[in-house]
Amino acid sequence: MKENKIEKWISDSNQNNANPILILNVKEQDIENILKSIKKLNNIKRHFFVNKIDCMQQENKFSLINQILIIQKNHYILIKEIKEHIKRKCIYIEDDRSIKIFINALDINRIDSCNEIKYEVIERTDFLTILQDKTSLRKFLFDRVEILEKIGIHVLDKHIEFYMLVIDYYIKHNVIAANLIHKLYQIANLDFVSSSRAIGDKISIICGVKSKATHISNISINLRKYVINNNIKVYDLNFNQIEYDTKLDIATKLLRLDSKDLTVEKISTITKLPFYEIEKLYKQKYIR
């Protein structure tokens, strides 16, 4: 049976040990009432740390336990601090009735009503699984982008058509735009703090290939509206650069042994590199 995350959160909060951030997305006119309703539940044994986020200027200090955020519906406020805390998981509720049930469940400590609460969980997902599941990739991306927007994290930096075009190309050719794969990595790992370069390095290690530039005509001429200089960086997932470099390094070291038994053909068989690649290395070593 699937675990009810709200039920677990309330149960853990009774021990002052609820780790995920609980986010309530409420109407502007309801913010103060909901804030007061939750704060009055605090007592010696149990304490909720409640932040009301309804303006751009404020700074927010988040607790590591029993943290509740009340954010204004349809306001899309940038919450700088949430980028640093989101990795620990968020539980998001925006349905008015569900918010009332949740507060009531906190009040009377009845977790049996939690199955009526509509909520979404924002948590880390295996990046490689998302990348390889091409049938679900599009839905995963846009569903996650939508909910992250609601809590003030703006992921996409290009027009939606750009992503539609590069997703289609990736599905058909297994070659993915660097911008897209970076966004997928961020969303899957909930990493909105690492630099673009750091993320690129991690992707190269995971996928075994480095990014390279290609002309937009290789993907879609329609990309010219969104790309400068008509070039775009991509990762060709049909080719494992790191694996290739490792094999090349092994072949080079085998040639240096100067063993009569290690012929070009033999080294090609051992490393599973094409004969001509080994022959090229051999000529570089012995023919000046």
Whether the pLDDT of residue 160 is over 70: the answer is yes
| DSSP for residue 45 | S
b/e sequence 255-284, b meaning 16+ C-beta within 10 Å: beeeeeebebeebbeebebeeebbeebeee
Q: What would the pLDDT profile of 40-52 be if each residue is shown by its tens digit?
A: 999 989 999 998 8
| DSSP for residue 74 | T
Whether the pLDDT of residue 210 is over 60: the answer is yes
What is the Cα–Cα distance from 258 to 260, expressed in whole angstroms? 7
Q: Quick one: tokens of 61?
A: 């200090």
Q: What would the pLDDT profile of 96-143 be if each residue is shown by its tens digit?
A: 999 999 999 999 877 788 899 999 999 999 999 999 999 999 999 999
Q: What would the pLDDT profile of 77-103 be if each residue is shown by its tens digit?
A: 667 778 888 998 999 999 999 999 999
